[in-house]
Amino acid sequence: MARGPAPQTLAAPRPRPAWFTLQEHWVGDPASPRPLRPLHLDLGFDPDAPDPALQAKLDAFVAAEPDRHTRTGFAVLDLSGPTPRYAGHLDTALRYPASTGKFMIMLGAYQLRHDLAVLARQESIGDLDALFQRARERWVAAETPARGAKVELLRREPRIERVDRLVRFGGRPRGLRFDAKATAETKEVHEHWGGVDLERIFDPAGGTSPPRFRSDALPYHALYWHEYRTDKDFKATFAKWDLAALGLAPRPIADWPFADRLATMIGFSHNYAPRELARDLGLMLVNSTFWAAGLYTPDQGGLWLGNPYWINPAPPRVWSLEPTEGKLHTAATARALCTAMAAVMKDKLVDPAACREMRRLMRKGQGLHRLAPADEDEGWDPPLTQAESDAYRDAVFDAPERLAGNPPGYGTRSFVRDALELPRKDVVVHSKLGINSKPADVSDVAHVRRRASGGRTLRYAVAILDVAAADFGLMAEVACAIDKAVDEVNAPP
């Protein structure tokens, strides 16, 4: 029996960031990394200086029906030739990205893993607990500006400034937690929101070079399907599966390990998965990554993740509305999404191994974004009928009749769409589609690699943001116009 006074509790100190700060992020080999800098510099293009030929084609497309092009933003980065060519329309307009926001969360996840690997190398840390502790200390240390640090004005109206690594909005640092009074449904938003739940993300047996995401390699049909509330058709489809016969017991997504949630979020566009993932990652590091990569700038905005990615109900108050316009809790521009996708395709973000993993998650085989990607190695296909797939596809990508006479590949349908539904060997698409369910506005970010006539291989990144539900057909038309423009600017002389 214990003697003496009752013990006081002493928990392992866990420094938690309180304010939004710009942290250190790295790219390349952890043994010799370099700081993450605006991606367009590494990709070799200037987004403010579009390629005249490519831009002219897109401008002509817009000019044919200007009234239809007042809302949707789109951008293309053609990587086919020795010099990247960029063009866009409303490409810096801030829009709600729908599920393309999940692509943003994925970027944050891989950047975190890499930054930890770099830290482990820099400070010779071989123990994962010690690495987590050190990382947290550094994140918190960034909140205290160096003595004598000057205030750097980043934007005058609204006022955004930085002092060393601390960012101030309207003269004040931005807290990483909600202001809302907790209710039974939302009290969980206060948990872990500013801090990174490293223990939930990484496998304790995984080491530090790099740390390994927790994973049970769960297949998609282990999903607890009725969490998927926004899609009645899909619920009906899942209900037909005999999971017991498959020997599977569905598990709620919150119980899934980090890597499996990540794969489901991207491959399946599962809506609860990003809520859990964003909570684990914390909003600070994800947004800090975007700032460092030039994917968010105070003068133009860009990728901003300010919300725990709820489906329903919406939270009473969000962490942070996007600072420049103050209207969206999650925001993107076509320019930023397109640039980020191109960087992933060209191994310019994080490191090549991470980019390969991200591409694999986004690889599209037969079926739409909510279906499991066809894995080239395993050839696994979901047991959906073609009719089910067609019904969903047509609702999103109905091409207007006037394009019906064009050859497949482009014209009737975009390569993006084709790759989603046809097992083509000559087109490879990595993409993340987004559909805002009420109303069902559509966004997409994709990378296309395909063979064109004359044996040329064309590669381009595309972002199409916020196509109104009332004009669904515009998605296919924009994608087709981009396909055609890229084809034409790369045609042999």
Strand, coil or helix: what is 204?
coil
Q: Say whether the peptide bond before residue 17 is cis (omega within 30 degrees of 0).
A: no
146 binds other proteins (CB under 8 A): no
Positions of E strands within 308-375: 330-331
Residues 178-207 that bind other proteins (CB under 8 A): 181-182, 187-188, 190-191, 194, 199
Measured from the CB atom, the residue of 12 and 205 that comes closer to other proteins is 12
First to last CA, the chain: 90
Residues 26-65 that bind other proteins (CB under 8 A): none
Report whether 88 contacts 334 (CB < 8 A): yes
Residue with tokens 């930890």: 116
141 binds other proteins (CB under 8 A): no
Euclidean distance between CA atoms 328 and 424, whole angstroms: 38
Pick the piece of the chain touching other proteins (CB under 8 A) from 22-30, 39-47, 174-182, 454-462. Answer: 174-182
Measured from the CB atom, the residue of 41 and 141 that comes closer to other proteins is 141
**CA-based radius of gyration for the chain:** 23
DSSP bridge pairs for 432 = 445
- The CB-of-232 to other proteins minimum distance in angstroms stands at 34
Measured from the CB atom, the residue of 64 and 130 that comes closer to other proteins is 130
Report whether 341 contacts 461 (CB < 8 A): yes
Measured from the CB atom, the residue of 17 and 367 that comes closer to other proteins is 17
Please report which helix (H) or strand (E) contains residue 473, including its range: helix 473-489
Measured from the CB atom, the residue of 8 and 312 that comes closer to other proteins is 8
Measured from the CB atom, the residue of 127 and 394 that comes closer to other proteins is 127
- The CB-of-121 to other proteins minimum distance in angstroms stands at 18
Report whether 315 contacts 289 (CB < 8 A): no
Pick the piece of the chain touching other proteins (CB under 8 A) from 15-23, 314-322, 424-432, 470-478. Answer: 15-23
Measured from the CB atom, the residue of 46 and 199 that comes closer to other proteins is 199
6 binds other proteins (CB under 8 A): yes
Report whether 55 contacts 47 (CB < 8 A): no
Pick the piece of the chain touching other proteins (CB under 8 A) from 12-20, 31-39, 235-243, 351-359. Answer: 12-20
**Interacting residue with other proteins among 7, 148, 171, 313 (CB under 8 A):** 7
Query: Would you tell me how many other CB atoms lie within 10 Å of the CB of residue 476?
Result: 23
Euclidean distance between CA atoms 287 and 305, whole angstroms: 6
Length of the chain equals: 493
9 binds other proteins (CB under 8 A): yes
Question: 83, 93, 96: which is closest to 468 by C-alpha?
Answer: 96
Measured from the CB atom, the residue of 156 and 181 that comes closer to other proteins is 181
- The CB-of-124 to other proteins minimum distance in angstroms stands at 14
Question: 41, 184, 205, 46: which is closest to 127 by C-alpha?
Answer: 205
140 binds other proteins (CB under 8 A): yes
**Interacting residue with other proteins among 28, 38, 175, 473 (CB under 8 A):** 175
The contact set with other proteins (CB under 8 A) reads: 2-18, 127, 129-130, 132-133, 140, 175, 177, 181-182, 187-188, 190-191, 194, 199
